[in-house]
Amino acid sequence: MSDSFLRLSKHADASVRLFCFHHAGGMAAMFSRWPAGLPNDVDAVAVQLPGRAERYAEPAFRRMEPLVRYLADEIRPLLEIPFVFFGHSMGAKVAFALAHELRARAVAAPRAVYVAASAAPCLSAPTPGWAPSDDDLIAYLTAVGGTPQQVLADPAVMAVVLPPLRADLALAAAWSYSEPEPLSCSIHALVAEGDQGVTAARARLWERETKSAFTLTTFAGDHFFVRDEPAEVLSYLSRELRRHATVREATP
């Protein structure tokens, strides 16, 4: 399998495949325990972007367009069964952009795209050339929460954390949303009650990106509820995945 994907579970008779996309500065390992909370017929795969973990020596992508072209090439051998995308924060935008790239290539479409802790793309304002300092990045991590203060104060840890975060945020900042034709698959937004940056109102605008069904579900927690409070998310996804394993496939 490509280095872009970490197989979290493998079932020969899997009926649906779940692709998980991490947040800015994150890595595939955040989803490593998910299979234990998912149905046995779900094949879970986490996307591992370059520039982190075992791919640390590889240059990270700083623009969305080449990233999704790369992922579309890499993912095709894994689309032989029904599949869905799940993205957290920046990962939601990557999953969404990849779904559009697959449609442009007229290949298999996801049954659904799940977007967690992510404001709708129509609210994005591109800022190409954004070049944050280390202090800017640490301030960002402080603002979104989820990173202990002792970690933020450790220069050795920050030397590993900040480079992929800088690249990912630059990618998100440079992405230009062009109001594409809505997707044929359903879109489902997940938000946390305590996420001050991604309110239900900001997530609800994802509805305009689909011709199919849209739902908005609220969970307890903050911006990192997917990572820190996964039980309810996995229970929700398990119900959803059972449904997607039996419904008619979406058209690209």
Active site residues: 89
Q: Sort strands 5-7 and 42-47 into parallel, antiparallel or unpaired.
A: antiparallel
> CA 170, 109, 31, 231 torsion: positive or negative?
positive
- Tokens 């977007």 locate to 115
The answer to whether the beta carbons of residues 18 and 241 sit under 8 Å apart is yes
Q: Which residues of 188-216 are buried (b: 16+ CB within 10 A; e: fewer)?
A: bbbbbeebeebeeebbeebeebbeeebeb
How far apart, in Å, are the Cα atoms of 76 and each of 5, 81, 99, 187? 12, 11, 12, 21
Q: Which of 7-12's residues contact partners 24+ apart within 8 Å by CB, and which partners?
A: 7/43, 7/44, 7/45, 8/32, 8/34, 8/35, 8/44, 8/45, 8/46, 9/35, 9/38, 9/42, 9/43, 9/44, 10/43, 11/40, 11/41, 11/42, 11/43
- What's the CA gap between 218 and 26, in Å, rounded? 22
Give SS3 for 183. strand
